[in-house]
């Protein structure tokens, strides 16, 4: 635990990317298994637990320190966990510290009620850096300024591999990653992930432009609703099943109800939805189940998960990706009819008689759970990435934009302790090829109280700069902003003013790079 806590302590103060890489490499080289593997899991946000510790800490601390002294200390330090880490009374000589691997192994199985007494023992055997690191570990999110990708890069470079090498097998290995480290140490071949439920990069679509529409021959395309859930890939095989977000994050832990019934061998593409009595619930309902490491029984009942399938990448270990969509679709239908996995159905193709009818369908698209239409070329194989001319998304006519959160400001009144006013931006590319975000508006409504808490937490965890009550954040969170109109404006750097913007929803699932561009907004100017 000592080496790990010193690593975290270093990382949190180290701004430079290369310096961070070196610190991590030194650690991974010098630390034995399985500790380094659990450290890698922690740094890649792959620890399967998250304990709310504030209350527990208050309980423990009242037994150790005068409450008034604790209060004054907390006021000075500003953070309960750090205060406890610093002020926890320490014996003159500490017993041998527990090992990271032992702590993680125990936490994985720990009952919440047992945490308090175990935590007390651990705190009694660690120094202040160790106590601080332990409390960070318990929350399940380290927040030491290291992305999962950077941690993977560190181990990759340690073994003279590329980070893509690591990513290709990442989901085929699990903490404490013994085969991975044996390979990186040059002691074993690359872990074999054939048939394992690893992530396959997704095929993505382009927005339908006017020229695409004009050139479109409907006979070549399948038309489907674009469901308002989140795109997922379910990969099952070798008795394991994983649920990946479009960016390859394993989100299965939040959907045990869904995965419990998936004992097949296939890799499928579909939309994750909340469904009640055959009706797709609004996106907000799905939101309740995202970004959680654990789910309560209540949530499983209130927000039942459902998977609406539209493509198959692999069935019974046969790679279907080279086949045209029309054949993949036939295989998916046949397979689904016999396998009948629970809580799934197929996205039913629409069959408009012609383009006029399709245009009418699109114009009439209003359902809460439908985002628009998808047009997919029947002859196209499944191509990773965003190939041109194969898949089109045709978003329904709604005045919403996906913008990137840039600045957050403290609110007033009862919101004064929250970052509740959000300045958001859109991407633009300058003549010199530089792409940057420009602010296009500010919203301070539209979210629920629970969402405000999450936004506030996100802002605090991603702050890059502060100016009085305003924090600048890393461009990493997409806000779907609803609004009344877009007008030209000479007052704003962007040249646009968005009227009455409000947060329609928070797109936790969407990469910031895919948010809307300034040109798109310009195209919405009121005539």
With CB under 8 A as the contact rule, which of the stretches 9-17, 297-305, 310-318, 388-396 interacts with other proteins? 9-17
CB of 144 to other proteins, least distance (A): 11
| Closer by beta carbon to other proteins, 19 or else 398 | 19
Residue 325's φ and ψ, nearest 5 degrees, are -50, -40
- Exactly one of 55, 66, 318, 457 binds other proteins (CB under 8 A); which one? 66
- Exactly one of 17, 30, 54, 69 binds other proteins (CB under 8 A); which one? 69
3-class secondary structure, 527: coil
| Closer by beta carbon to other proteins, 13 or else 500 | 13
Of residues 18 through 57, those in contact with other proteins by CB under 8 A are: 19, 22-23, 26
- Exactly one of 5, 56, 80, 83 binds other proteins (CB under 8 A); which one? 83
CB of 73 to other proteins, least distance (A): 5
- Which tokens hold the place of 69? 């002294």
- Which tokens hold the place of 115? 């945490």
> What is the maximal distance between C-alpha atoms in the chain?
83
CA distance 78 to 80: 7
| Closer by beta carbon to other proteins, 78 or else 468 | 78
- Exactly one of 8, 40, 42, 87 binds other proteins (CB under 8 A); which one? 87
| 128 binds other proteins, rule: CB under 8 A | yes
Taking a C-beta distance cutoff of 8 angstroms, is the pair 25, 150 a contact? no
- Residue spans of alpha helices (H) in 159-302: 163-170, 178-184, 210-215, 256-259, 283-287, 297-302
Taking a C-beta distance cutoff of 8 angstroms, is the pair 267, 313 a contact? yes
| 154 binds other proteins, rule: CB under 8 A | no
Residue 428's φ and ψ, nearest 5 degrees, are -145, 150
Q: Which candidate, 110, 170, 173, places its Cα nearest to that of 138?
A: 110
Of residues 456 through 485, those in contact with other proteins by CB under 8 A are: none
CA distance 58 to 81: 9
With CB under 8 A as the contact rule, which of the stretches 28-36, 79-87, 298-306, 376-384 interacts with other proteins? 79-87
- Exactly one of 3, 58, 77, 204 binds other proteins (CB under 8 A); which one? 77
Binding mask 90-109 for other proteins (x = CB under 8 A): x-------------------
CA distance 420 to 459: 10
| Closer by beta carbon to other proteins, 72 or else 398 | 72
| Closer by beta carbon to other proteins, 24 or else 266 | 24
3-class secondary structure, 346: strand
CB of 20 to other proteins, least distance (A): 11
Taking a C-beta distance cutoff of 8 angstroms, is the pair 366, 289 a contact? no
CA distance 312 to 333: 9
Taking a C-beta distance cutoff of 8 angstroms, is the pair 465, 475 a contact? no
**Residue 226 is a catalytic residue:** yes
CA distance 455 to 143: 16
| Closer by beta carbon to other proteins, 154 or else 268 | 154
How many amino acids of this chain bind other proteins (CB under 8 A)? 26
With CB under 8 A as the contact rule, which of the stretches 60-68, 93-101, 262-270, 390-398 interacts with other proteins? 60-68
R_g (Cα) of the chain, nearest Å? 25
CA distance 311 to 288: 26
Which one from 152, 226, 376, 510 is the annotated catalytic residue? 226
| 86 binds other proteins, rule: CB under 8 A | yes
- Exactly one of 5, 31, 73, 494 binds other proteins (CB under 8 A); which one? 73
CA distance 222 to 241: 29
Taking a C-beta distance cutoff of 8 angstroms, is the pair 523, 397 a contact? no
| Closer by beta carbon to other proteins, 83 or else 265 | 83
| 384 binds other proteins, rule: CB under 8 A | no
With CB under 8 A as the contact rule, which of the stretches 14-22, 43-51, 170-178, 509-517 interacts with other proteins? 14-22
| 13 binds other proteins, rule: CB under 8 A | yes
DSSP 8-state symbol, 293: S
Taking a C-beta distance cutoff of 8 angstroms, is the pair 158, 184 a contact? yes
| 14 binds other proteins, rule: CB under 8 A | yes
- Residue spans of alpha helices (H) in 222-324: 256-259, 283-287, 297-302
Binding mask 189-228 for other proteins (x = CB under 8 A): ----------------------------------------
Residues that bind other proteins (CB under 8 A): 12-16, 19, 22-23, 26, 65-66, 68-70, 72-73, 76-79, 82-83, 86-87, 90, 128
Residues marked active site are found at: 226
């Amino acid at each position: 635990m000592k080496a790990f806590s010193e690593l975290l302590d270093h990382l949190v103060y180290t701004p430079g990317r290369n310096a961070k890489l070196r610190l991590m490499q030194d650690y991974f080289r010098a630390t034995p298994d399985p500790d380094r593997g659990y450290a890698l899991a922690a740094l890649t946000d792959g620890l399967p637990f998250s304990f709310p510790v504030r209350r527990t800490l208050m309980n423990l601390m009242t037994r150790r320190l005068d409450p008034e002294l604790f209060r004054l200390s907390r006021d000075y330090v500003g953070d309960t966990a750090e205060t406890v880490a610093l002020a926890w009374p320490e014996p003159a000589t500490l017993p041998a510290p527990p090992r990271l691997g032992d702590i993680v192994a125990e936490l994985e199985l720990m009952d919440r009620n047992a945490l308090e007494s175990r935590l007390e023992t651990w705190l009694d055997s660690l120094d202040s850096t160790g106590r601080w690191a332990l409390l960070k570990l318990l929350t399940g999110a380290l927040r030491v300024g290291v992305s999962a990708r950077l941690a993977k890069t560190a181990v990759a470079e340690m073994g003279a591999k590329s980070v893509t090498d690591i990513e290709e097998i990442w989901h085929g290995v699990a903490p404490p990653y013994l085969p991975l480290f044996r390979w990186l140490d040059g002691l074993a071949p690359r872990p074999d992930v054939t048939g394992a439920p690893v992530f396959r990069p997704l095929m993505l679509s382009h927005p339908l432009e006017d020229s695409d529409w004009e050139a479109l021959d409907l006979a070549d395309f399948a038309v489907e609703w674009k469901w308002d859930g989140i795109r997922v890939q379910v990969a099952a095989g070798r008795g394991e099943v994983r649920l990946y977000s479009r960016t390859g994050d394993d989100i299965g832990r939040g959907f045990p109800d869904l995965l419990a019934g998936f004992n097949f061998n296939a890799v499928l593409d579909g939309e994750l939805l909340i469904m009640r009595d055959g009706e797709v619930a609004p996106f907000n309902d799905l939101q309740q189940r995202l970004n959680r490491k654990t789910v309560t029984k209540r949530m499983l009942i209130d927000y039942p998960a459902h998977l609406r399938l539209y493509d198959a990448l692999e069935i019974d270990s046969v790679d279907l990706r080279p086949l045209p969509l029309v054949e993949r679709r036939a295989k998916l239908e046949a397979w689904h009819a016999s396998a009948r996995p629970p809580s799934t159905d197929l996205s039913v193709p629409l069959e408009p008689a012609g383009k006029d009818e399709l245009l009418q369908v699109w114009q009439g698209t209003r359902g809460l759970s439908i985002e628009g239409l998808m047009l997919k070329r029947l002859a196209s194989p499944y191509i990773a990435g965003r190939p041109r001319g194969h898949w089109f998304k045709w978003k329904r006519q709604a005045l919403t934009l996906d913008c990137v959160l840039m600045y957050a400001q403290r609110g007033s009144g009862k919101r004064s302790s929250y970052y509740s006013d959000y300045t958001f931006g859109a991407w633009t590319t300058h003549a010199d090829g530089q792409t940057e975000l420009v602010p296009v508006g500010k919203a301070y409504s539209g979210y629920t109280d629970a969402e405000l808490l999450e936004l506030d937490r996100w802002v605090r965890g991603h702050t890059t700069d502060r100016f009085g009550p305003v924090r600048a954040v890393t461009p990493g969170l997409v806000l779907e902003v609803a609004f009344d109109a877009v007008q030209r404006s000479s007052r704003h750097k962007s040249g646009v003013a968005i009227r009455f913007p409000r947060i329609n929803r928070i797109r936790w699932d969407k990469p910031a790079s895919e948010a809307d561009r300034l040109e798109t907004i310009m195209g919405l100017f009121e005539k």
